[in-house]
C-alpha cells in the first residue's frame, strides 16, 4: 500500500508526467522494449514500485512509490531518460546548446511531479493514467491500449475490462 507523504519525505508516492522534446514523435511506443529495459535497469539499481503507468507515443504518466528511506526520484528519472536515449539511434534535431553540450534531443529536460496526498488522490491519478490513451485518441476503449498497467489492474479485479473513467476524470488534466 502506498505511503502518502510530502515530496520532501522519503518513501513517498508520486505522480509523474515525462514528455519527449518533440511531441509529434512516436519514440516511446516505437522503442517500447528499450524503454522497458531502461526502467528495469534503473529499478534494479535504485528500487521503486510502479503503482500505475501508461506509455503514449510522446509522453508517459506514472505513479511510483519510493522505498522508506529514499526521496530521490530525480536521479531515477535522469538515469531512465539517459538509458533510453543511449538505446535508440541518433537522428533528432538538436539545438545549438544541446550540440555544444553533447546532449541528446530526446526528452524535455524537466518532468512534472505531484506528491500523492491520500487514497482519493491516488485513485484520481491512477484513473487519469489509465484513461489517457482514450483522452488523446490513441484508443477507443481503455482496454485497447497495450502500454498500460490497466491490464494488471483488470487481472487483479480492480477494474472490469470495460471500465471507462467517470466525468470527473475525463475533464481533468495533470499534464
Q: Which of 152, 160, 167 is nearest to 63 (CA)?
A: 152
Buried-state track 130-146, b at ≥16 Cβ within 10 A, e below 16: bbbbbbeeebeebbebe
59-65 and 49-55 beta bridge pairing: antiparallel
Let me know if 46 is a catalytic residue: no
DSSP-assigned letters across all residues of 138-169? S-SSGGG-SSBTHHHHHHTTSS-TT----HHH
Catalytic residue among 128, 131, 147, 159: 147
**Which positions are annotated as active-site residues?**
147
Amino acid at each position: 500500500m502506498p505511503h502518502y507523504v510530502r515530496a520532501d519525505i522519503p518513501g513517498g508516492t508520486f505522480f509523474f508526467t515525462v514528455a519527449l522534446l518533440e511531441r509529434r514523435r512516436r519514440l516511446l511506443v516505437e522503442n517500447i522494449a528499450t524503454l522497458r529495459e531502461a526502467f528495469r535497469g534503473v529499478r534494479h539499481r535504485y528500487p521503486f514500485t510502479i503503482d500505475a503507468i501508461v506509455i503514449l507515443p510522446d509522453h508517459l504518466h506514472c505513479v511510483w512509490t519510493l522505498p522508506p528511506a529514499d526521496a530521490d526520484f530525480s536521479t531515477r528519472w535522469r538515469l531512465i531518460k539517459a538509458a533510453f536515449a543511449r538505446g535508440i539511434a541518433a537522428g533528432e534535431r538538436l539545438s545549438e546548446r544541446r550540440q555544444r553540450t553533447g546532449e541528446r534531443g530526446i526528452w524535455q529536460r524537466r518532468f512534472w511531479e505531484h506528491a500523492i496526498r491520500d487514497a482519493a488522490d491516488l485513485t484520481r491519478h491512477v484513473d487519469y493514467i489509465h484513461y489517457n490513451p482514450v483522452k488523446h485518441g490513441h484508443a477507443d476503449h481503455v482496454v485497447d491500449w497495450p502500454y498500460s498497467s490497466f491490464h494488471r489492474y483488470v487481472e487483479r479485479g480492480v477494474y472490469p475490462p470495460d471500465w471507462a473513467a467517470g466525468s470527473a476524470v475525463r475533464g481533468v488534466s495533470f499534464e
